[in-house]
């Protein structure tokens, strides 16, 4: 029952349900990871069950794969799919140019690989993820375990030359030890407060030996679906000129038919 959901979950569900309208019969779909993406996978499962929707999913994490299989969504690897029609995934932050921070759930490496192997990426988020400047959310950087302390030092030295509001670099922990990604790597969270030049920082981080990938998604998506606590959802697209927004709709998915 939607009345039992928290306001945050109502917003996440609204965005996820609206985004599923971008999925058509026969598509190969990248399935994101995280609490908002889980609502999207559940909605696609409903469409598979109730509408006979025929899709193939490529999950971005082991937990998303498990949920998709539980809902009878056929799952294949990205190698088997070759190329995807659309990827739908959440974001921890997005700015007016649709630059993203992702990786709060620790899956940004697979998420970036899947998103960039798609015709389009649709971002789903609640209104709280809409920011003027990226950086309030810690930026995840995935590193290989070998020599990770040295890699951390190099990351810190790099940040000294960039326009950021903070330079704290913290190893992500879980269960008394380092958090380990699905690929067997570690994550350092960069508490930057503000990122002045996200594209430049993304390129700089990936030049460091030991860094596998960072959580900045630059120029990957041109569509964001924003969910609100009242159950409405708004689709925004990025125009070619000036990073302007086009608002496509604001449908309330919880409204009674005919209201």
Distance CA(222)–CA(9), nearest Å, equals 24
Give the DSSP H/E element, type plus range, for residue 114.
helix 108-116
Residues 6+ apart with CB under 8 A from 217: 91, 99, 100, 101, 102, 108, 112, 115, 121
Pairing of strands 93-94, 168-171: unpaired
CA dihedral for 181, 133, 38, 220, sign (positive or negative) = negative
* Catalytic (active-site) positions: 111
């Amino acid at each position: 029952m939607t009345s039992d959901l928290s306001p945050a979950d109502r917003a996440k569900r609204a965005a996820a349900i609206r985004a599923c309208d971008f999925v058509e019969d026969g598509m190969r779909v990248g399935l994101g990871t995280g609490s908002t993406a889980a609502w999207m996978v559940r909605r696609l499962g409903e469409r598979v069950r109730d509408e006979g929707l025929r899709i193939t999913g490529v999950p971005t994490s082991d937990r998303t794969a498990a949920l998709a299989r539980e809902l009878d969504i056929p799952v294949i690897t990205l190698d088997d799919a070759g190329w995807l029609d659309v990827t739908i995934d959440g974001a921890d932050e997005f700015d007016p140019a649709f630059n993203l921070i992702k990786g709060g759930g620790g899956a940004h490496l697979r998420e970036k690989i899947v998103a960039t192997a798609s015709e389009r990426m649709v971002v789903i988020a609640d209104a709280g993820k809409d920011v003027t400047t990226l950086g309030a959310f810690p930026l995840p950087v995935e590193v290989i375990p070998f020599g990770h302390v040295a890699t951390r030092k190099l990351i810190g030295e790099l940040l000294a030359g960039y326009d950021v509001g903070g330079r704290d670099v913290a190893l992500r922990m879980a269960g008394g030890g380092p958090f380990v990604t699905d690929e067997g790597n570690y994550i350092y969270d960069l508490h930057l407060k503000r990122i002045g030049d996200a594209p430049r920082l993304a390129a700089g981080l990936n030049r460091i030996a030991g860094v596998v990938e960072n959580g900045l998604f630059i120029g990957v998506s041109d569509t964001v679906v924003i969910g609100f606590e009242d159950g409405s959802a708004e689709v925004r697209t990025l125009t070619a000129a000036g990073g302007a927004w086009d608002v496509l709709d604001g449908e309330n998915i919880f409204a009674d038919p005919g209201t």
